[in-house]
Structures are given as C-alpha cells and as structure tokens.
Amino acid sequence: MRLILFFDLPMVTKADVRIYTHFHKYLVQEGYFLMQYSIYCKLFPNREAAVKHVDILKRNVPVEGHVRVMMVTEKQYSKMVLLTGSKSHQESSINSDAFIII
C-alpha cells in the first residue's frame, strides 16, 4: 500500500516559509520520498498501517494551505504512466521489494 501526499502551502511570509520547511522536514523524517514538487509518497505493509499513519499525519499538518492524501495499492501504483522525464533515483530505488514484512 502506498500513501501519496499532495500539498499546496502558502509561501508569502517568512513564517509561511518556516512552516513549509518544518512540514517538509517532518515528511522526510517520517520516510516519505519526493515524487514531484509538493508530492510525496510513502510505502506501508498494509492498509491498516496506512490508515493509522493518516491519523498521525492529521495532527502534524499545517493549518493553512491544502494537504491531501490518496491510498493506492502496489498494483495501482505500478500502472502509473510517466509521460515525460524519468523516475528519480530515489523513486527507482524504493519499491515494494525494498519493504520487508515480518
């Protein structure tokens, strides 16, 4: 199961930039990787774990702006079509085989 996070945060004031930076650092600490600008992805062993993480995420999102999440299965994620450019090194190296379920 993958959790894809989309966000659009205001970047008008220095305080806005600070909030954005804090949120970005939080996502990286939590194991998200950058798919595209303001689109992050994280791999989970199952739907339950992803749902629990969304509850935690709700407590850590900025008040201003827009933050959305979408859960997709590995099968759905693998059907994503890349129209231009190429996968990032990070995106290529992180796949379902890299995740060990105990």
Q: Tell me what the pLDDT averaged over the chain comes to.
A: 88
Give the separation between CA 21 and CA 78, rounded to whole angstroms. Answer: 30
Query: What total of structural domains would you count in the chain?
Result: 1
At 8, which CATH number? 3.30.70.240
Q: Is the pTM of this model over 0.85?
A: no
**Confidence band of 78 (pLDDT split at 50, 70, 90):** confident
Using one digit for the tens of pLDDT, what is the confidence trace for 18-66? 999 999 999 999 999 998 889 999 999 999 999 999 999 999 999 999 9
pLDDT score of 90: 64
pLDDT of residue 8: 95
Full domain range(s) for residue 76 = 2-98
